[in-house]
Amino acid sequence: MTAKDHLAAPSPPDEDDPRSRRAADLAVALEDARDPIARRDFIARMGAAIALAGLGACTRAPRDEIIPYVVQPPEVTPGVPRFYATASTLEGYALGLLVESHEGRPTKVEGNPRHPASLGAAGAFEQASVLSLYDPTRARAVTERGSVVAWSRLEEALTEGTWTSAAGDGLHFLLEPTSSPAIAAVLADVRARLPRAVVSFHSPLMPQNQWEGALIAFGRVLEPRLALERADVVVALDADFLTTGPARLRLARAFADRRSTLDAMIRLYSVEALYTVTGAAADHRLRVRAGEVLAIAAALASAVGLPNLPAGVPAALAAPAEPHRAFIEAAARDLAAHRGRSVVIAGHAQPPEVHALAHAINAALDNLGATVTLAPSPIVAAGDMAHDTAMLASALDAGAVDTLVICGTNVTYASPADQAFTELLGRARQTAYLGLHEDETSARCTFMIPEAHALESWGDTRAFDGTTSIVQPLIDPLFGGRTALEVLSLFSGADRARGMIARKTPYDLVRAHFHDDLPPGATRDFEQRWRRALKLGIVEGTAIDPIEARVDWAGLAKRLARTAPAPPPAIELVIRPDPRVYDGRFASNAWLLELPAPVTNLTWTNAATLSTETADMLGIETGDELELRASGEIVNAPALVVPGQATDTIGLTLGWGRSRGATLAHGRGANAFALAAGTALSPISVDLHKTGRRHDLALTQRHHHLEGRDEDILHHATLEEHRRAGARHDAATTKRRLTLYDKSPRAGTHQWGMAIDLTRCTGCGACVVACQAENNVPTVGPDAVFLGRAMHWLRIDTYFVGAPEAPEIAPQPMLCQHCEMAPCEYVCPVNATVHSDDGLNEMVYNRCVGTRFCSNNCPYKVRRFNWFDFHRGEDATRELAHNPDVTVRQRGVMEKCTFCVQRLREHDIRERQGRATKPPETACQQTCPSRAIVFGDLSDAAAEVTRLRGDDRAYAVLDELATEPRVRYLARIKNPNPELP
Amino acid sequence: MHGAADLRVNLFPAYANQIYWLAIGGAAAAIVGTPAALIAWARTPYATGQGEPPDQPIKFDHRHHVRDDGITCEYCHGGAARSSKAGIPATSVCVNCHSQIWTTSPELAEVRRSYFANEPIRWKRVNALPDFVFFDHSAHVNKGVGCVTCHGRIDRMGQVYQARPLTMRWCLECHRAPEEHLRPLDKVTDMEWTPDRPQEELGRELRASLGVRSIVECSGCHR
């Protein structure tokens, strides 16, 4: 199979596109698929049904069964959920989680407040991981060339080969980057016994450039750790630090904290090609091609001044940045004015030189040790080229590989096509692949081993700062999955030495390594420490201390002198990780597939994004199919115009155009790996032309302009304007209103309300998935999204503010506003939506008859209608993901945000019984990395939400309708540099 | 020639008028009566399943365990005080006693099979609420609602059956005026308790001292 096989199959052209026709087709198709009775036979059958209705009523539903435990675990009380601390891993870096379990069934993931990378928050990937666990399409059995075989057969086959008598020569391992101390120990064991065995690490998105950048600047591999809480000025060089990287949630929190503190507001300059979440949050955003960022970095370094750099920054390096001089100089002056309180951040996709320059600037500004500290990476063999996949590729090419064991990385799909792993894998005598799905890689391997999901595994993993977490399973492997630790331990020496294959369980392995890692003398209270580590979700005292590092100025000067940036291509292809499916690993997860991408609001596909200017120049409109040609390969992708992207760039995200192992995503979007060359993220030249075909993109929002209604919908201002206007924002809401209704709240009840701080919100989308997971919200598929029938109770509206070709993008989470004078309630003919004493706008599914009057009368358009029984015919495994505390809605019923009423009622019940309970949190609030959403009791004067409601930035959306919403927004304030226009 | 008389031939017999009125009346009655009948039918004990014990895998006799042995409700249904679910006891709870007594009884064969085969006993649900109703035992048991109030005289049931209609109207009767059904907390599991003074007075006091609210908002039960 060549890379061409990955090409996205374009969806059929859609010549006549009346939306009504599609709606009808969709209805018939969906109904026919689910319903043995075709819609058109309905009337005929209905007649018979009415006639027989009387008889039908003579039978009763069969009795349900109650199936108790045989021996009830003492800690379990059926009906009371339990929470366990564990961790998920991405690129080898841990994120601590707390997982809710109902009678042994994990249903919801939250962040672990004790974990340094989470601080209580979780992102969209983590929120969606529950659905991946219950994915019925996961691999279910060990297979050899497609036929099911026993595990013992695999053990036998893998541990025999020419390498057994040659000290491991010919034995290769390909792993995902890992920080696991247990895996590191097993690998050390394997290496001790088989010194010639080769271990390689592969992920298309590992921070290789960052490590190399540190190697240039400091002479060793170090990772920068940012302390944004201490920074006043930040310059991001193509760095989307708010949504990517191992500390993304922590940085989002720190940034938001400094953002909403108007008296000491942080200022962010962003230089980037594609419009990212970080770019949208920036005060000043410079759009340049990704290949030009090096020049910007050099110009910035020379404007700041690097006195210790022999001969200074080469002028030739900085010369291309000349047109952006005003921006660079203003940023440099701002940085210089905040010595020791500023920071320059380089993006992972940028070449090592940019990282080195960022380090140099930070050093020159005395930021090292203040806003940036440097520490060795927790990743095993970080930056060590001996573990590069190039070694593996050449060994495969030379036919020197006898046994290749691949753990967790879908290398065939997720590597640039020019690395040709698809073809090379066949050159090993035998290959085994440990993966969640039977995917592109397993198709090329001798053995397929089903992998245990993180929520089914014992393991350990480390955070960006080295803090170790024990990964504990919430459930036994559903499909008999194994972990990388188990597979690797087949080769470890200790057990082989006794002439037998390892029979240790992963639990034993992790405990053994935990024991070995304890400081001497601490092993006496091993059991106590082990339990504490499991309970807290972190192992205390395992963080890696930052070190004092000095810039190697001479080395840097030498490297810079040698650097000659390639001339920019006419049109540059910028490939980036996808905010939904990442590098394709989440492409089987419907929640993520249907998550509207931040900034673009695109669902169920990726698209070739281009700026307004480039689109005009090439005559391209959103929806045109483009043929992209790069690195000698061709890929077709739909076009999507994104104002504010750099001109002469085409943006494409990774992870789409899957052909195997992600049933839901097959044929959706374009495979950017097919076009990539070298590393997946380096910018390359691209040719493009229109094919003449059109695509209907499943966008959740097609109109982004406020049409001058900024004051009604989204208040935004600069810090300067805000100070001048004073308490302008809440002026309208304090107007006295006449009403005939008695609105005095009932004494003794909570009065629930919410405040959303738009200065904090980045629009990352974690809340959308959290809401979906908590409230059993169905996914509807691309056709229904296209028709505007997405079911998300919480959506993120994206507005364009300012110049049409380079607008500022302002996200606004929009959910049921729980109006005190709710327009929906007046029009419901069956009283299915009513008000509760504690101020909720309630939705009663069992009363709803589906007139949709309420939705028509809702000015915020937050009500969602079930056009179909989306949950019917669901796989039994998938059903396990449902929250048992929330009704699974059926067809013909309206639904909407309930303020997570199940949590509020649970809280009420506990509180009234005097049992321990914390103030309730909604799912969106709990997961929000930047704490933009605050929920609470308005009758409590000390509550955070009450304070925010009284803030001078607070306002109600569509205030003039006098709906008196319980949700208040806080105006979006920016902090631009007065020097820049 | 055909005369006009031919056209006056009676097409309908004389009783056609009666049939006409009967048909009209019948149709009207059907339109009103059918829904009325269905509504009424849905409230019959037959439709609500009231009073009918299902066939259980074990002929468990509450009369014996509650009345003769004096085992309290919470020994087996311990979740009632702290969970939404009262819980059905695990097989091991049965075995606590039945490893000592009646160890060879054929009636308990299913208990032994379950315990030794590690397979749960599959009981039939007696008191079933629709999936969109979220009932919480702890909210009631801790606020002075007795077991007997909803479950009836379990201590007199050879085989447990649904004692009350469990319709929404029945729930609301109590939710609107909880004081009529409250009892002291130490009498919650008492099957034979009767108020020693007027329930009206006792109920009012209990309502105040236990902080019992009248929950009639929809999301109290429907979420």
Task: Note the pLDDT of residue A432.
Answer: 96
Nearest CA in chain A to B48: A60
Give CATH for domain A710-730+749-974. Answer: 3.30.70.20
Q: Which residues of A touch B118 (CB under 8 A)?
A: 70
Q: How far is B103 from chain A (nearest CA, A)?
A: 17
For the cut 90, the answer to whether the pLDDT of residue A259 exceeds it is yes
Residue A497 pLDDT grade (very low, low, confident, very high; cuts 50, 70, 90): very low
Task: Note the pLDDT of residue B75.
Answer: 94
Q: Identity (one letter) of the amino acid at B165? A: P
What value does the mean pLDDT take over residues A754-780?
96
For the cut 50, the answer to whether the pLDDT of residue A499 exceeds it is no
pLDDT averaged over every residue in chain B: 91
Structure token digits, residue A238: 């193509």
| A247 to A125, A255, A766, A856: CA distances (angstroms) | 14, 12, 15, 43
Task: Note the pLDDT of residue A24.
Answer: 62
CB contact under 8 A, B219 and A57: no
Task: Note the pLDDT of residue A736.
Answer: 53
Q: How far is A603 from chain B (nearest CA, A)?
A: 29
Given CATH 3.40.50.740, say whether it is the number of domain A143-202+382-454+478-536: yes
Q: How far is A39 from chain B (nearest CA, A)?
A: 26
Instruction: Tell the residue number behind the tokens 């309708």, with chain if given.
Output: A961
Residue A6 pLDDT grade (very low, low, confident, very high; cuts 50, 70, 90): very low
| B217 to A259, A566, A844, A854, B172: CA distances (angstroms) | 40, 68, 10, 19, 10
Give the DSSP letter string of A467-536.
-EEEE--SS--TT--B-HHHHHHTT-HHHHHTTS-----HHHHHHHHHHHHSPTTGGGGHHHHHHHHHHH
How many Å apart are CA A89 and CA A93, to the nearest integer?
5
Q: Are strands A684-685 and A864-865 parallel, antiparallel or unpaired?
A: unpaired
Burial of A291 (0-12, 13-18, 19+ CB in 10 A): buried
How many Å apart are CA B89 and CA A69, to the nearest integer?
8
pLDDT digits over A580-602, tens only? 999 999 999 999 999 999 999 99
How many Å apart are CA A463 and CA A118, to the nearest integer?
9
What value does the mean pLDDT take over residues A234-240?
97
pLDDT averaged over every residue in chain A: 90
Structure token digits, residue A927: 């997961």
Beta strands in A160-206 (DSSP E): 171-175, 198-201
Residues of chain A with CATH 2.40.40.20: 577-694
Residue A553: helix, strand or coil by DSSP? Answer: helix
pLDDT digits over A820-850, tens only? 999 999 999 999 999 999 999 999 999 999 9
Count of CB atoms situated within 10 Å of the CB of B221: 21
CB contact under 8 A, A68 and B88: yes
Task: Note the pLDDT of residue B7.
Answer: 62
For the cut 70, the answer to whether the pLDDT of residue A39 exceeds it is no
Chain A residues bordering chain B (beta-carbon distance below 8 Å)? 54, 57, 60, 63-72, 77-80, 834, 836-838, 840, 842, 844-847, 885-888, 898, 901-902, 904-905, 909, 912-913, 915
Contact A576, A681 (CB under 8 A): yes
Q: Residue B125: which of A65, A69, A886 has the nearest Cβ?
A: A65
Task: Note the pLDDT of residue A27.
Answer: 63
What value does the mean pLDDT take over residues A135-163?
93
Task: Note the pLDDT of residue A594.
Answer: 97
What value does the mean pLDDT take over residues B162-187?
94
Structure token digits, residue A134: 């219950």
Task: Note the pLDDT of residue A26.
Answer: 65
How many Å apart are CA A10 and CA A695, to the nearest integer?
8
Q: Which residues of B touch A838 (CB under 8 A)?
A: 217
Structure token digits, residue A788: 């505007």
Q: Which residues of B touch A77 (CB under 8 A)?
A: 78-79, 82-83, 87
Task: Note the pLDDT of residue A505.
Answer: 83
Task: Note the pLDDT of residue A789.
Answer: 94
CB contact under 8 A, A67 and B124: no
How many Å apart are CA A41 and CA A32, to the nearest integer?
11
Task: Note the pLDDT of residue A461.
Answer: 96
What value does the mean pLDDT take over residues A367-392?
91
How many Å apart are CA A413 and CA A202, to the nearest integer?
12
Structure token digits, residue A706: 């406020």
Contact A391, A174 (CB under 8 A): no
Nearest CA in chain B to A913: B142
Give CATH for domain A208-375. Answer: 3.40.228.10
Residues of chain A with CATH 3.40.50.740: 143-202+382-454+478-536
- The β-bridge partners of A284 are A269
In the A/B pair of chains, how many CB contacts fall below 8 A?
120
Q: Which residues of A touch B78 (CB under 8 A)?
A: 77
How many Å apart are CA A221 and CA A376, to the nearest integer?
6
Measured in whole angstroms, how far is the alpha carbon of residue A444 from the centre of its chain?
29
Residue B220 pLDDT grade (very low, low, confident, very high; cuts 50, 70, 90): very high
Contacts for A252-255 with beta carbons within 8 Å, 24 or more apart? A252/A121, A252/A762, A252/A764, A252/A929, A252/A930, A253/A119, A253/A121, A253/A929, A253/A930, A253/A931, A254/A226, A254/A227, A254/A228, A254/A229, A255/A228, A255/A281, A255/A930
Residue A12 pLDDT grade (very low, low, confident, very high; cuts 50, 70, 90): very low
Please tell me the least confidently modeled range out of A6-20, B24-38, B200-214.
A6-20
For the cut 50, the answer to whether the pLDDT of residue A556 exceeds it is yes
Q: What percent of chain A has pLDDT over 70?
A: 91
Task: Note the pLDDT of residue A568.
Answer: 85
Name residues 75-94 of chain B within 8 A of A (Cβ).
78-79, 82-85, 87-93
Task: Note the pLDDT of residue A500.
Answer: 45
What value does the mean pLDDT take over residues B155-184?
94
**Sheet-wide strand order for A430-435:** A147-148, A143-144, A447-450, A430-435, A403-407, A171-175, A198-201
How many Å apart are CA A539 and CA A534, to the nearest integer?
8
What value does the mean pLDDT take over residues A907-919?
89
Name residues 185-214 of chain B within 8 A of A (Cβ).
211, 213
For the cut 80, the answer to whether the pLDDT of residue A806 exceeds it is yes
Task: Note the pLDDT of residue A746.
Answer: 65
Residue A166 pLDDT grade (very low, low, confident, very high; cuts 50, 70, 90): confident
Task: Note the pLDDT of residue B49.
Answer: 85
Nearest CA in chain B to A907: B139
Annotate A235-273 with three-state secondary structure.
EEECCCCCCCCCCHHHHHHHHHHHHCCHHHCCEEEEEEC
Given CATH 2.40.40.20, say whether it is the number of domain A577-694: yes
Task: Note the pLDDT of residue A498.
Answer: 43
Residues contacting residue B25 through CB under 8 Å, at least 6 positions apart: none
Burial of A159 (0-12, 13-18, 19+ CB in 10 A): middle
Contact A778, A888 (CB under 8 A): no
| A59 to A861, A863, B42: CA distances (angstroms) | 41, 36, 12
pLDDT digits over A943-962, tens only? 999 999 999 999 999 998 98
For the cut 90, the answer to whether the pLDDT of residue A212 exceeds it is yes
pLDDT digits over A426-459, tens only? 999 999 999 999 999 999 999 999 999 999 999 9
Predicted model pTM: 0.91
What value does the mean pLDDT take over residues B57-82?
92
How many Å apart are CA A216 and CA A971, to the nearest integer?
43
What value does the mean pLDDT take over residues A713-731?
79
Q: Residue A909: which of B87, B139, B222 has the nearest Cβ?
A: B139
pLDDT digits over A170-193, tens only? 999 999 999 999 999 999 989 999
Residues contacting residue A646 through CB under 8 Å, at least 6 positions apart: A272, A273, A274, A287, A288, A289, A290, A611
For the cut 90, the answer to whether the pLDDT of residue A379 exceeds it is yes
Residues of chain A with CATH 3.40.228.10: 208-375
For the cut 60, the answer to whether the pLDDT of residue B198 exceeds it is yes
pLDDT digits over B87-126, tens only? 999 999 999 999 999 999 999 999 999 999 999 999 999 9
Q: Identity (one letter) of the amino acid at A635? A: V
Q: What percent of chain A has pLDDT over 90?
A: 77
Contact A648, A654 (CB under 8 A): no
pLDDT digits over B12-46, tens only? 888 888 999 999 999 999 999 999 999 898 888 88
Picking from A693, A581, A584, A438, the residue whose alpha carbon sits closest to that of residue A6 is: A584
Give kind and range of the element (H or E) at residue B171. helix B168-176
How many Å apart are CA A667 and CA A685, to the nearest integer?
25
What value does the mean pLDDT take over residues B125-135?
93
Q: Which residues of A touch B143 (CB under 8 A)?
A: 912
